[in-house]
Chain A
């Protein structure tokens, strides 16, 4: 198995670990914030979907556009959103990532990150670094989701 397939396999298990917290919760439970923090299950899934989308845009376009309003909104489920619609969006995003990465000739090509207070100056990220970053974000948020799911009032 080549490096790309190995990283994608681990990313897929992290996605499943996150997504499996959702199918058996109601839309109302997906909006609930049962821990000390402000996170809800639906918001986590939406946020991770958003992050994966813009990072893959960066791999494709060499430019990462931080939409601060979309970023903030990504932690909350909008009134029209449902667990099903969020899971569908997530699956579509994953499929796109798999296709984009499969088509990359290698993972070493790096693009500069835009100047922003949250990145070190003059930083360039390769596709490998982006994929590792998506994996890390997904896994860490899956950890949040585990505890939030466990903290939901008895279902």
Chain B
């Protein structure tokens, strides 16, 4: 397997784990708060999809895609909530489209090409990120949120993902 195949496989596996946590649930269940945490299953799918898209945009267009404004802060908060005018089916379809585009980038871009990170308190100053590092980061981010979703789903009806 090539490095690109490995990245594609890791991304697919963890998107799959995350999707598995919402299989067969209703929109209402996807909006339900299940633990002390404010996270919901539908909100997690939306957030992970949006984050993946943000990083894919960064690989193509650089740091201006990540600039934080008042509007983007509001959008970030909204990203964790499956709104009444949204459906789980809708956000899963959107996630699938985003995934296809990321996968195309993983197949084609120079993995060593770097972009500067935007100036933000949560990034080190003057740091750059290679496409490779961005894609591996998306794997880690997806896996961690899939971990959140595992516990939420297990709380909902006992369905388990990992052993």
Contacts and interface: CB of A to CB of B under 8 A. Distances in A.
Interface of A: 1, 3, 6-7, 9-10, 13-14, 17, 35-37, 107, 126, 128-129, 132, 135-137, 139-148, 150-151
Nearest to A141: B147
A151 B35 contact: yes
Given A129-B1, A140-B14, 6 more contacts: A1-B130, A17-B144, A139-B139, A140-B150, A143-B150, A146-B147
Contacts of A37: 150-151, 154, 160
Interface in B116-156: 130, 132-133, 136-137, 139-141, 143-152, 154-155
B24 interface: no
Contacts of A142: 144, 147
Contacts of B160: 37
B10 interface: yes
Interface residues of B, number: 35
B35 A6 contact: no
B150 A144 contact: yes
A31 B136 CA distance: 32
A141 B130 CA distance: 26
Contacts of A7: 136
Which of B17, B133, B144, B149 counts the most A-chain CB atoms under 10 A from its CB? B144
Interface of B: 1, 3, 6-7, 10, 13-14, 17, 35-37, 39, 130, 132-133, 136-137, 139-141, 143-152, 154-155, 158, 160, 162
Contacts of B130: 1, 6
Nearest to B152: A147
Contacts of B147: 139-147
B135 to A, nearest CB: 10
Contacts of B3: 3, 107, 128
Contacts of A150: 35-37
Contacts of B158: 36
B136 A132 contact: yes
22 contacts: A7-B136, A10-B137, A10-B140, A37-B160, A128-B6, A129-B6, A132-B10, A132-B136, A136-B143, A139-B140, A139-B141, A139-B147, A140-B144, A143-B144, A143-B146, A143-B147, A143-B150, A143-B151, A144-B147, A146-B37, A147-B37, A150-B37
Given A37-B151, A128-B6, A143 B132 contact: no
A126 B150 contact: no
Contacts of A151: 35-37
Nearest to B133: A6
A139 B144 contact: yes
A136 B139 contact: yes
A10 B152 CA distance: 25
B35 A147 contact: yes
